[in-house]
Amino acid sequence: MQQTVNAAEAKKQEPVDELEAAKRRRGEFLDSIRRYKRKLAYKLEEQEAIKKLADMSKKNTKNIGYLRRRKENIEFRISTEAYTLDEERELIRRKNEVDAELEEAIKSYRLRRKQEYIVSDIAELTKRIAEAEAALGEAEKKLSEIYASYRKKQDWEPRRKEERKHTEPRHDEISLADMAIIKDRKEEKEKEDA
């Protein structure tokens, strides 16, 4: 006897568990979409900022390889040849200028690379958002199917009709609105008598 009761309770609990799992799954998709959209907004802002910086540093797009060779050549000349003090200072000054140009060129190159990575990240995030939204649509469809089957199993429609019958006021009962009208009429009658 107890096994049949437990089996009946398990059958009643099964749709509820399925419903809860579908709700949880839908919530997970909504959370992932929110997360992806926040990341996308951040990446778009970052792309705009880097675009401005890249536009400012376009003039520093010299060839990095050329600047490195030039720097190594100057360093080699300083270390191997004998120069007067003024000539060596001039070579060191030129080396420092080349270092500064090289540093700017490397920054410009890094900005361009970072911009490329951000563009690929944005494409990836939009793809993930589209996939998550499609999965969310499927989850919502599944959830509505579960609700429909649950309503059929529980016979909700006839119950609703019965509840409507009970909520309609019966003609032999007095509603609150009727009581207010009666009270107003009583007060008017008392004023007329006075």
- pLDDT for position 5: 47
pLDDT tens profile 137-194: 898 898 888 888 877 776 655 555 566 555 665 566 676 777 778 888 888 888 888 6
pLDDT tens profile 105-121: 888 888 888 889 999 99
Enumerate the domain spans of the chain.
2-193
Average per-residue pLDDT for the chain: 81
Q: What percent of the chain has pLDDT over 70?
A: 77
Task: Please indicate whether residue 81 or residue 94 has the higher confidence score (pLDDT).
Answer: 94
Q: What percent of the chain has pLDDT over 90?
A: 25
The type of residue at 16 is V
Class of 2-193 in CATH: mainly alpha
| pLDDT at 97 exceeding the cut of 90 | yes
Q: What is the 3-state secondary structure (H, E, C) of the chain?
A: CHHHHHHHHHHHHHHHHHHHHHHHHHHHHHHHHHHHHHHHHHHHHHHHHHHHHHHHCHHHCCCHHHHHHHHHHHHHHHHHCCCCHHHHHHHHHHHHHHHHHHHHHHHHHHHHHHHHHHHHHHHHHHHHHHHHHHHHHHHHHHHHHHHHHHHHHHCHHHHHHHHHHHHCCCCCCCCHHHHHHHHHHHHHHHHHHC
Q: How confident is the model at residue 12 (pLDDT cuts 50, 70, 90)?
A: low
